[in-house]
Structure formats: C-alpha cells, structure tokens
Amino acid sequence: MDDPPATRQPAPGGLALVQDFVNSTELPGGWDELADVALTASWLRAHGFELTPDEAQRRRIVETRENLRTVLGVNSGQPLPEAAAARLGKLLDAASVHPAVGAEGVRLASPSLGADGFLAAILTALLESSITGTFRRLKVCRSDSCQWTFYDSSKNGCGAWCSMRVCGARAKAKAYRERHRAGAESAVPGATAPA
C-alpha cells in the first residue's frame, strides 16, 4: 500500500484501540502521549476512559504498551520474544474479563475499574481479534527507525512497512545499494567499495 501511516485503513473494532495505544509514542525517541500522568489521563479521556492514573499505574500502562509492540512484531515476521510475551501476560493478569450473556449474544466484559479497566479493554480487543483473525494483521513496521503499528488490509496480508512511500522505499533503496556494492566488490578482486 502506498499510503502514509496516517491515511492507512485503521484496525477494525476494538483492535483500533490497541493500534492507537501502541502508536501513542513515536520511536525512536520522539513524542510520547503517555510521558507523564497528566498526558496519560488526557490520552485515556480522549479514548473514552475517565481515569487519572497514579505514577505506578502510568508506568504499568506504558510497560504494557512496549511489551505489546514487541509481541506484535511476531505478525511482521519476527520470532516470538518469550520474555516480552510472559511479561505482557503478567501485566494483563489483573485486567480480568468474563463472558456477559445478553439478547445480542455473548461478549466479553470486565468489572475492573481504573487502569485495570483500561487494560481489560485492551485484553478484550486482543482476545476478540485473535478469534476473528484480525490480530495477525496488526503489524509493526519492519523499519527499525519507525516501529509504527499499522493494520495490514492488503489482500494477501503480507504488508511489511507502515508506508511503502517512506519506510518501504528506504528499505528497498538500502537493499539495492547493498546488492550494488556487493556486486562491485566481487567484480574487482581485493577491491572494497567506498563507505
């Protein structure tokens, strides 16, 4: 897809919250919408959660975000990072969800409030998207200098970069230069290409 990340199709349903959550910071070292308690409370309110976390809760929310991004790398072809997966499971432990049966069917609900209530919404979205198969399409851009989370709506689900115009073009240009340099080095015995 040739669109920049901001114009890509957002993830469907509750998975959009997960996508927004993981993208609440710009990597590496850019802005962070969860950088302090006030910013975190503002971000949470903008996403429908009326709570002001304390500093320990904010750190737990941020740690959840970072471990979730690492785990989502699996959907982009990275190996499962066992430590991050285990830590994410522990961070979501207190975010209990249970089935709620109603006239419309069965849905997941949580009695948790505060930070646990927010993390329960994240957990619910992860569970539901795992069941529907949309979880595998939430990916982390393969560019180490980006790490933006995007929803891969391509027909074959093989998207690798948040934007083909930016990150994809850079990766392809870098691969071309490396192939060209390797070809030039092998053509002249003992010669090395300039750096």
**Count of CB atoms situated within 10 Å of the CB of 162:** 28
Task: Work out the percent of the chain whose per-residue pLDDT is above 90.
Answer: 53
Q: Express each pLDDT in 63-82 by its tens digit.
A: 999 999 999 999 999 999 99
Average pLDDT over residues 93-113: 87
**The residue type at 72:** L
- Residue 109 domain-assigned? yes
- Residue 193 domain-assigned? no
Buried b (16+ CB within 10 A) or exposed e, 52-85: ebeeebbebbbebbbbbbbbbbbbbeeeeeeebe
Q: Express each pLDDT in 157-189 by its tens digit.
A: 667 656 555 464 454 544 445 555 665 666 656
- How many domains, the chain? 1
Name the strand (E) or helix (H) holding 149: strand 149-151
What does pLDDT average to over the chain?
Answer: 83
Band of the pLDDT at 126, cuts 50, 70, 90? Answer: very high
- Residue 64 domain-assigned? yes
- Residue 26 domain-assigned? yes
